[in-house]
Amino acid sequence: MADWDLTAQNRSNQYRHGTLQRLAVAANHERLLRNHPRLKRPLRAAYYAVNGGRRERPMRLETRRRLERTFADPNRRLRAQLVGLGYTDLPEWLDV
């Protein structure tokens, strides 16, 4: 399993230039790059650097606080369960 690539391959993204996006979709659809992942990875990275739009809007503080309150107890229980199973490298959001 160590050699598996578990990164998202079919992400939805905003784009800046429609023509460049259509070319990229056509190249992928025609399997020009689909069967050549060692070539596709650097080209994909370059594409997102040039044509990628901003994907996320920052969460409003009041929304974050409401979510933290809503999930505080379930997250505490999850943390206790994971620690009980021996997990130590837990995500930051479980340190509440």
Q: What is the pLDDT along the chain (96 residues), one digit of tens a residue?
A: 556 666 666 666 777 788 888 887 777 776 777 777 888 888 888 888 888 776 667 889 999 999 999 999 999 999 999 999 999 999 988 876
What pLDDT does residue 21 have? 83
Q: State whether residue 25 is helix, strand or coil.
A: helix
Alpha-carbon span 20 to 85, nearest angstrom: 48
Contact predicate 41/35, CB 8 Å: no
Alpha-carbon span 39 to 48, nearest angstrom: 15
Contact predicate 15/21, CB 8 Å: yes
Q: Report CA-CA distances (Å) from 35 to 30, 43, 71.
A: 10, 13, 43
Q: Which DSSP symbol is given to 5? A: -
Domain boundaries, the chain: 18-51, 61-94
- Pick the closest to residue 50 from 7, 18, 17 (CA basis): 17
What pLDDT does residue 82 have? 95
- Pick the closest to residue 92 from 68, 60, 73 (CA basis): 68
Which pTM was predicted? 0.43
What pLDDT does residue 81 have? 96
